[in-house]
């Protein structure tokens, strides 16, 4: 059996949980087993399983594990300078038991990144897209021109208990669909703003798998 690897962001937390558990066993005896359970959860939270990414041209791949929220029309974050016209937005809510490693939704180039501080309301609420702390990236899919309508927005959003967004994307970076680009801890949401001409292939309530589930496709038009 192949066990999933652990994301490097998780090791400091796992080490802390192990140390606290040892102290609990020394000072509180049987209560140490509570620490064992919490340590096991921490290891589970930071798991980073391998994924097999579809290579079909024109597909947008899920950047996150979790439940698909209602697909709506919404303007992309202003800081990405993608215009104010509504686009199709697909949102994925990650609870504290989902894999939280985020993956790139398509081959292309990062045109811009932007961080915006904000609140920490429940990430399953629609208002989280507008008011919560977030890290946004604008990606130009491979083969697309410099028309902003062809760009894609992917936004990592902090949640009720999430207090740390980590993104490795940088302006000018070339990216590949399915590669890891960041992580959010603990419990959060990722929004994808589709380019013009793409049709959603998922429905609200469906579970998505980062790096594997096809969220949308240009060829269905």
Residues acting as catalytic residues: 188
DSSP at 119: B
Helix locations, 54-170, DSSP H: 128-131
Helix, strand, coil percentages (3-state) for the chain, rounded to 5, are: 25, 35, 45
Please state, in angstroms and as integers, the Cα–Cα distance from residue 76 to each residue in 11, 22, 136, 218, following that order. Answer: 34, 47, 10, 19
Tokens of 183: 């992580």
Pairing state between β 188-193 and 174-175: unpaired
Distance in angstroms (rounded) separating the CA atoms of residues 135 and 123? 14
Dump strand ranges (E) for 12-81. Answer: 47-48, 59-61, 66-68, 72-74
């Amino acid at each position: 059996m192949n066990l999933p690897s652990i994301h490097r962001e998780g090791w400091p937390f796992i080490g802390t949980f192990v140390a606290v558990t040892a102290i609990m066993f020394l000072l509180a005896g049987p209560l140490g087993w509570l620490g064992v359970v919490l340590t096991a959860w921490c290891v589970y939270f930071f798991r980073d399983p391998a994924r097999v990414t579809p290579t079909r041209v024109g597909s947008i791949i899920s950047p996150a594990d979790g439940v698909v929220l209602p697909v709506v029309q919404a303007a992309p974050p202003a800081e990405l300078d993608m215009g104010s016209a509504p686009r199709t937005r697909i949102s994925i809510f990650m609870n504290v038991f989902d894999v939280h490693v985020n993956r790139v939704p398509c081959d292309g180039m990062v045109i811009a990144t932007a961080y915006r501080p904000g609140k920490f309301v429940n990430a399953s609420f629609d208002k989280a897209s507008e008011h919560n702390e977030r890290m946004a990236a604008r990606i130009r899919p491979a083969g697309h021109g410099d028309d902003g309508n062809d760009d894609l927005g992917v936004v990592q959003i902090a949640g009720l208990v999430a207090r740390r967004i980590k993104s490795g994307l940088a302006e000018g970076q070339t990216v590949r669909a399915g590669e890891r680009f960041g992580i959010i801890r603990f419990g959060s949401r990722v929004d994808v703003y589709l380019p013009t001409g793409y049709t959603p292939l998922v429905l609200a309530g469906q579970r998505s798998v980062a790096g594997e589930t096809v969220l949308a496709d240009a060829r269905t038009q």
